[in-house]
Amino acid sequence: MEGEVRYGIVGVGMMGLEHLRNLLALPGARVTALADPHPPSLQAAHAVLAERAPSVATFADHRDLLASGLADAVVVATPNHTHTGILLDALAADVHVLVEKPLCTTVEDCQRVVAAAEGHRRVVWVGLEYRFMPPVAALLAEVDAGTVGRVRMVAIREHRFPFLPKVGDWNRFNRNTGGTLVEKCCHFFDLMNRITGAGPARVMASGAQDVNHLDERYDGMVPDVLDNAFVIVEYDDGARAMLDLCMFAEATTNMEEVSVVGDAGKVEAFLPSSILRVGRRADGWFRTTERVVHDPTIAYEGFHHGSSYLEHVAFLEAIRVGRPAGVGLAEGLLATAMGVAAHRSIDEGRPVTLAEVLA
């Protein structure tokens, strides 16, 4: 595809506006249409667009946007539990798609979308943008270059603030999100898979809702989303990965830490300090090097250290050259399945295999 690529955004709440700002900063992208049934969200989007793209069309229903012919690609940034129906409609409309994580809230719905995409000629990309955070991308490059040797252990820590308010408070309930370990942590499961290059075989988890949202009520109901967990993932090549999640730990320095250890060394990435630390066993005990990693090509930093912008750069390039998605439906399905397995492990107090979740 040559010339400008026309984008429609379905869902212009918090993350939809984030995608809008990224696209406004991206050369070769033009936002032509928005869809959202929530008028205040559309008003907020038009405030962002006021000086940049005043002629953007708006729709209350995503199906009208898809039927309008105004978009070559759509970004789906609606509440998690609405992804399946919107994706099925978008796949039938034959447009390129970038869908926010998670792909869907259940394995069954992910599998429906994967089946519907068979033979689809357009790019279908899942928004697992943590791969694109500059220090994490640098960590992946070190792993790919063989710096750590054969990967044996991956440890990811996210100690952060509670879930933010969303339109209609949809993110307060598992029935809408798929559960915290699907909604939030699919990013980290995808990173584990990318780093190990192996297949996840078994998941063991412990978690609870101990602090956050317990004093909140929505139509008389108390939120049920977990706010802390440990998750261990065993891989089919013997590697292991662990997630340490706490969502009432904003009193911290680095919100995310990623550590990869192999038989030849160790590499770590820290956010938001953007530090990459590398150690090689051959260099001797306690010898490491570190550097701050930045990407000067990032035109909009946004919520995620520029990773959403870099993801959009890669998505647009895939559209232009006809390349498959860098993060596709298979990766999105597997990341969701690992979150589902982790929740099942917590609920049932046992290890859960990926085979049973994917059956």
Q: Are residues 140 and 235 in the same domain?
A: yes
Average pLDDT over residues 312-337: 97
SS3 60: coil
Residue 149 belongs to domain with CATH number:
3.30.360.10
pLDDT tens, 286-297? 999 999 999 999
Residue 188 pLDDT level (bands cut at 50, 70, 90)? very high
Would you say residue 53 has pLDDT above 80?
no
Residue 106 belongs to domain with CATH number:
3.40.50.720
pLDDT tens, 217-272? 999 999 999 999 999 999 999 999 999 999 999 999 999 999 999 999 999 999 99
Cα-atom radius of gyration of the chain, to the nearest Å?
20
Q: How many other CB atoms sit within 10 Å of the CB of residue 318?
A: 20
Phi-psi label, residue 252: left if phi above 0, alpha if psi -120 to 50, beta otherwise: beta
Would you say residue 323 has pLDDT above 80?
yes
Residue 3 pLDDT level (bands cut at 50, 70, 90)? confident
Within-domain flag for 220: yes
Structural domain for 91, as ranges: 5-128+310-326
Q: What integer pLDDT is reported at residue 1 of this predicted model?
A: 59
Q: Are residues 231 and 285 in the same domain?
A: yes
The two structure tokens encoding residue 184? 């939030």
Round the average pLDDT of the chain to a whole number and report it: 96
> How would DSSP label each residue in 83-103?
HHHHHHHHHHHT-EEEEESSS
Q: Are residues 115 and 137 in the same domain?
A: no
Q: How many domains does the chain have?
A: 2
